[in-house]
Chain A
Amino acid sequence: MNVPDDLKYAESHEWIRVEDGIGTVGITDHAQAELTDIVFVEPPKAGDAAEAGAAIAVVESVKAASDIYSPVSGEIVETNEALNDDPALLNTDPFGGGWIYKLRLTDFSQLDALKSPEDYRAQIAE
């Protein structure tokens, strides 16, 4: 399983990349492999408030709907329009074209509570 070194991870299998105060969030390679064929993504709306650990989006595979939990709190600034037509980007490019939303972080200390790539690798190896 791919676990890029430049990201932070939530125990609930989301990743976040922070640049210039904006966090980009998606689900991990491990999560997409577990969920299998993703056929629908219900993203948040720009302007929505995300709360760390709270459900913010829904991804649906053929078999089940799964909540996505925001790794950190903040204001949603953008969602990935491409997922509207091609939700399978979450399967094919989970750390790139399959990003789900971007948010403006309100509490940078929340990043310290997330997992390092090493810790996340250990989690999914269990």
Chain B
Amino acid sequence: MNLENPPRRTPLYHCHVAAGGRIVDFAGWEMPVQYSGILDEHRAVREAVGVFDISHMGEFFVEGRGAVAWLDGLLTNRVAKLAVGEAQYSLMLDERGGVIDDLIVYRTGSEAFLLIVNAAKIAEDAAWLRARPGADVTFVDRSDDYAALAVQGPLAGDVHERVFGTAMPSERNRVAAANFDGVPVTVVTTGYTGEEGFEIVAPAAAAETLWDAVIAAGAKPCGLGARDTLRLEMGYPLNGSDLSPERSPLEAGLGFFVDLTKPEFVGKAALEEQRATGLPSRLAALVVEEKSPPIRSHYPVWADGVVVGETCSGALSPSLGCGIAMAYLPPDLAKIGQRVEIEVRGKRYAASVRKKPLYTRAA
């Protein structure tokens, strides 16, 4: 055990253990990978509603007259186009255009923003932001003070009504203040599963009662295992696996969240150069077209008899019943329909590049 960095626990750790959660280390956190089973929890989110503890993620608060200009000068997406009550996906890059973190920016007031960042990157992101102070803006990392729950699935609206007594906002990417049992909380309509739903950011002290209320309202406890298969079916990247400082957001197919018309953001010059000279690779979503073992990360990807890349994420898709993966491939091999092979323990399985999301609900 590394005594200098003991594993951290969210305010809901004891709830996870009590609910039969199987606890694993995730980015230094003791988190539930599953309760009833990954397949069961995956299905619950696709067909009903599940709840994930995402308290390990970081909550940053940015306020002040200079907040918009400061964030727009640092992050890839354009904060200025957000109305109060709206949210957007954005990225934090290094000067070389590589991804440090992906995050969601919520505009909670005309001069107030909430940023939710990845658990593994809280300290690095905070240090990066503090190293670039702006005029008329304050930045506070309050990750330890807040818990967060993600309620996801077609029946998430029912849970919202039972917990808050009001209808769930119908539009995605919204942020609003709400009240739970006298405690002010923030409700956002974002998620990482491709399903309808909402996330609640609440003071850590209210986490357990909120968790119990959400479960009493019908949500099934879900762990990180199902969270991973759900996001991968949608083609959502996971930082540390699919995103890294070695890849740019353009290579990752996230150009929609990069506003190159802004005067400046960290990494912009590198992205412009990459766009001018051509991308070295593109992130492709792959579907295996024969019976195969589950695909995992770092499996070789072949095309025309040579290795052309390796998987950065993979799974056996519970919804599709076949192997799925993501891999950075040479751009001319990352086109929809391209046939490739994924090697598992010395045997190659036929696969092809597909359009994201890999899973869409049957009409």
Contact = CB atoms under 8 A, between A and B. Distances in A.
Contacts of B40: 37
Contact of A60 (B22, B34, B37, B293): B293
Contact of A37 (B38, B291, B293, B296): B38
Contacts of A58: 293, 345
Interface in A39-86: 39-40, 42, 58, 60-63, 65, 84
Interface in B315-349: 315-316, 318, 345
Interface in B16-40: 22, 33-34, 37-40
A39 B272 CA distance: 44
B225 interface: yes
Contacts of A40: 292-294, 316
Given A58-B345, A63-B225, A36 B293 contact: no
A36 B40 CA distance: 11
A15 B34 CA distance: 26
Interface string A16-43: 0000000000000000000011011010
A42 B37 contact: no
B316 A39 contact: yes
Interface string B284-304: 000000011110100000000
Which bucket holds chain A's interface residue count? Answer: 10 to 19
B229 interface: yes
Contact of A62 (B225, B291, B292): B225
Contacts of B38: 36-37, 61-63
B39 A42 contact: no
B293 A63 contact: no
Contacts of A63: 33-34, 38, 225
Contacts of A60: 293-294, 316
B88 to A, nearest CB: 32
A65 B296 contact: yes
16 contacts: A36-B22, A36-B34, A37-B38, A37-B40, A39-B294, A42-B293, A42-B345, A60-B293, A60-B316, A62-B38, A62-B39, A62-B316, A62-B318, A63-B34, A65-B296, A84-B291
Interface of A: 36-37, 39-40, 42, 58, 60-63, 65, 84
Given A37-B38, A60-B316, 4 more contacts: A36-B22, A36-B37, A40-B316, A63-B38
